Structure 1
Amino acid sequence: MTDDLLTTQRNMLALIQSGLAFTKDPFDRDRYQKLQAFLLQQMALNPRLNAAQLKTALAQDPGYVTPKVDVRAFIVKERQVLLVQDVPTQTWALPGGYADVGYSPRENVQREVREETGLAVRVRGLLHIFDTAQRPDIPQVAQFYKLVFDCEPLDGHFEPNMEVDRIGYFDLAALPPLSLNRTTPEQLATLTQLHRTQAFSSTD
């Protein structure tokens, strides 16, 4: 299955979801639902998509479909970057996750870091925004805008929790197995360069 086909399927899924949100005609609603079911069956044939990603597609928020927002923290100590190990997959990523309604971007990343690592952090600024649609080699059903913030740890300590088994600081030359849907080596290299030049943008 080509990357172009996955992009087309993702766009079609968004159009169907938006149609379901706005249509008033019961016959159109039935057609949209049948199209959605057929499209998801076709997407399930892609061996590079997992069940969790298809579940994400089914759980799209009602209303006009827009990219989702993911917030991540870039924390460096002695030239090593902090990563967290995901409980279900045992892979590693920058601490973070979905942005919740009711919080500013700064508050969202502070909340995520506290929940996953036990650390309180000071947000120094926005480092970079990644668009997952620009990485067709890493297929995802939904499109995410990944906001990565440069953060400085203040206090706190880690305890294993439902989301994270372990945390650790790693050199870019000796990374553990990464959760590529969340964090890639290329992203870490870009962020490291921006961190060194202190190329921060202000944020709420």
Structure 2
Amino acid sequence: MISTFRCGVLLLSLALPCLVIVTFSAPFWYDVGFMTASSGGSKYVFGTLGYCLIEPGAHGCSKAKVGYDISIISVIDADHPSAEIYSSLNTLTKILVLFPITAGLVLLAFIVAIPSRHIGYGTSALIATIACVSILSALVLELVLFGIVQRHGNGSRNYHTNWGPSTWLTIAAFVAVFIGTILMHYGWIVERRKRRRSYMF
């Protein structure tokens, strides 16, 4: 019978592919991102390390880097917010680097947990906890960032914004990591109690 700890590890393994896809969203995977802004046949796709513009028969993407210039939304913005707002949005895009960091942490927790017994349980559970805090922070900031983009985008007569698959994958990954972390900690506590009882008898 699979242990509670191993169930938690299994959930981490399910979250990992989601985080990998999110990490390699636009500009790597040009039509996958957190949000899209569409008008006619043109569509902007905002991802983790950049954005893409998809047009009929062609597409172009920004260079992949930590933090990107999201002031491109000025072309879809009816309210024309100040440069200070754009500067804040550009800063928030740098926080998206938490997604590949979280993917690395989840992978590390998974690797440590697979062959682990006793001490390794606690180490992998601790790494999973850090990953859980990381993905929660990234998710909240991502929702704030693209919530602002959506508000301004939907204020335009020509463009319509939609949440992209990366957002839903992030939510699914967070749920899996959160529950998995709880199960791993519980399994670790149970294992410690078993060890203590074995020493007593």
TM-score interval, normalised by the smaller of the two chains: under 0.3
Q: Which structure is richer in relative contact order (CA contacts within 8 A, separation 6 or more)?
A: 2
Determine which structure has the larger helix proportion and give its number: 2
Relative to the length of structure 2, the TM-score reads 0.25
Larger radius of gyration: 2
